[in-house]
Amino acid sequence: MTIAVTQPWPPEPDSARGVAPAVEHLLAPNASSWTYEGTNSYVIANGGASVLIDPGILDETHLEALRRTGRANGREVASVLLTHDHPDHSDGARALADSLGVPILCMSPRFADDYLAGGQVLDVDGLDVHVIHTPGHSDDSVCLWMPDSGTLLTGDTVLGARSSGVMGKLGDLLTSLELLRNLAADRDVLALPGHGPAFTDLVASATKVIDVRTRRINELRGYIADGDTTLLTLIKRLYPDLTGSRAMFGASTVISTVEYLAGLDGEHGIADPDQREQILADIEKYNQQLAAHAKERAAAAAAH
């Protein structure tokens, strides 16, 4: 069987449309320089049950569209599930779950009511949904695999023609991408990413990311060999044009790559571990601020 992607992109935000057997897609209204057209929310629905995936922005119109889609045809929403805990995917999760009285499923200690595990199989009223732990973009990243239809929700691990940062460990990402390449090596797979349109060339897409990361590894190795051993210098050389939140993600990607190099080549360490800790602290502070704002908005929404 050959899977084709024929639907136009991007769709109207908050408008549900079927994109695969048992899967509906809703685009969150949070377009930006780092979310592209917005975050992709999904509803896995089968029989009398549904699971809501990555609600994204805390926007009541979007959350209501997810509730309505999940409850269509008399279905009962079983849970809210996060492919990872980055704010553009998780911002509305607590408000949505609380409004439905259902748990949040994920691998993040910040959000999980029930923890997911790699290898776990979720039963959506008879539909098997396999949880694949794919760390790298973040430590808690998961993909959701439905072998009956050949459908894979990839989160931000691989985005087709798009790129995403490395906020976890680069070695983990390379391993995760190889795992996904192997998954699609001998069968057709429809990949539904966390941002951007669906795609069917999963092997090529994963290979492209591996090639890009390998090129970055070699570039950084050369810079370090030339004497550039401060993180700020390396970040500016590798990502000179990034600003704002994308600069934070670029910094995290450089740190992950430098640490990966240090593991491969003991002499390729960095000369400023204190600076590394400061940059990581800045990234964590940024994430905490976003999470705090999400909680404030959730409380305000609940009050109304």
pLDDT of res. 254: 85
> What pLDDT does 164 receive?
85
pTM score = 0.86
Label each residue of the chain as H, E or C.
CCCCCCCCCCCCCCCCEEEECCEEEEECCCCECCCECCCEEEEEEECCEEEEECCCCCCHHHHHHHHHHHHHHHCEEEEEECCCCCHHHHCCHHHHHHHHCCCEEECCCCCCCEECCCCCEEEECCEEEEEEECCCCCCCCEEEEECCCCEEEEECCCCCCCCCCCCCCHHHHHHHHHHHHHHCCCCCCEEEECCCCCECCHHHHHHHHHHHHHHHHHHHHHHHHCCCCCHHHHHHHHCCCCCHHHHHHHHHHHHHHHHHHHHHCCCCCCCCHHHHHHHHHHHHHHHHHHHHHHHHHHHHHHHC
pLDDT, residue 271, reads 46
Low-confidence ranges of the chain (pLDDT < 70): 1-6, 242-247, 264-304
Q: What is the pLDDT of residues 137-193, one digit of tens each?
A: 999 999 999 999 999 999 999 998 887 889 899 999 999 999 999 999 999 999 999
